[in-house]
Amino acid sequence: MSMLNRNKRENLYKGITYGASFISLGVLLLIVGYVFLNGFRLLNFDLITNNYTAVTYIADLDEGFELGNYTTSKEFNEETFYSEKWGLALTDDTDLQGKNVIVVTYVHPDSPLHTLQNKGVGDPNLDLRTEYEVIRIAFDGAASALSSRGAENMINLLDQQDNIRELEFATTGGGIRGSIITTLYLIVLTLVFALPIGIGAAIYLNEYAKNNKFNRMLRSFIETLTGVPSIIYGLMGLAIFVPITIRLTSATTGNLISGSMTLAVILLPVIIRTTEESLKVVPDDYRFASLALGASKTQTVFKVILPNAFSGILTATLLAIGRIIGESAALVFAIGTSIKDDVYLTDRSTSLAVHIWSMMTDEPANIELSSTIALIILMIVLVLNISIKLVSKRFMRKYGVVR
């Protein structure tokens, strides 16, 4: 009877364990699947390399232009409409953010649209090129052709006119190049601030600190800091690090340096605890053998203990990088939410996570682009994870920790 109850309990525990594992895996797959299904359509190389801010031009035709019959042997798809009168082909498309736009797909070599006069600042001569997005064409004595009504409507209205009063077009915007660069800057700067302090503190606590009331209280404080909401760290960054960087650098507001310092404080508990745990698993026999051979305590720590704990330290680094990439609440205060294409250490900017926050606070929320950026974040984390594991394995083989 007792054996039967024991088997039931074991099966119950086994079932709970398996159930918990499958639920965890299922939730993870649901999240990844949702992000993939919603974000895959916008995922392309142009999104990664393009600027976020589009450059808009307003121009009119050059004096003395002549209309003609600009026939072409070029074949267009069903979504492309061509005006032989103006030598211009327009296509209904979506921009990098998934919004409907009209894109210039062809301009006849003899078209008068090749010689435009800029009505704004900058180069006085403009050339309507392919891949520009046409926003509006204004005519004298007739309603303007707007991009919101589609390429076919715009071409039909254009064919009815013999002159153009004003042409508004823009380069492609909506890219996330600046946010990717900002995120990479944040990773490097934060690790520079956090790793030396965090690893040093872990070495002290595990190798040198005595088991007294002060050190136990210190560990308790570190563990408590792990549970503090990151938005409180953001307020701390705004109150402490932003004024410091304004005083010491050319910054005038929240900036990348103050954001990295704030993130470093957030990451310190994680780095300290993970590194300390990796130091604890190094067998004491290694320490005793090193000391018995005449090595000092410092030599033992840095030449024997640390190489054997390297895998755990890299795990701490990987966890830190994941937190840096995913953090948003603290950065809203410490850096700001300005999406920038030109990234400077002493200026506001936006990481990928904050870029998602900006897209989701738009009206309406851009879920598709947010999912695409989330997909890119997952890919970056995966690449970093694999890279760090390869580096870890190579390093440990070099020092003979594993074969």
pLDDT score of 20: 93
In whole angstroms, how far apart are CA 56 and each of 119, 124, 172? 11, 14, 9
Residue 1: predicted pLDDT: 54
Which tokens go with 337?
Answer: 């939410």
* Residue 41 pLDDT: 84
Give the pLDDT confidence score for residue 143 in this predicted structure: 86
The whole-number pLDDT of residue 2 equals 64
In which region does residue 364 sit, left (phi positive, over 0), alpha (psi from -120 to 50) or beta (all else)? Answer: beta
Whose tokens are 């007739």? That residue is: 142
Contacts 24+ apart (CB under 8 A), 347-350: 347/251, 347/255, 347/256, 348/253, 348/254, 348/255, 349/178, 349/179, 349/182, 349/185, 349/255, 349/256, 350/178, 350/179, 350/182
Residue 3: the pLDDT is 67
The mean pLDDT values, 10 residues at a time, for the chain of 403 residues are 75 91 93 89 86 88 80 85 90 85 90 85 81 88 86 90 88 88 93 93 90 87 85 91 92 92 92 90 89 90 88 83 87 87 90 90 84 90 82 72 56
pLDDT of residue 192: 94
pLDDT at 179: 92
DSSP 42: G
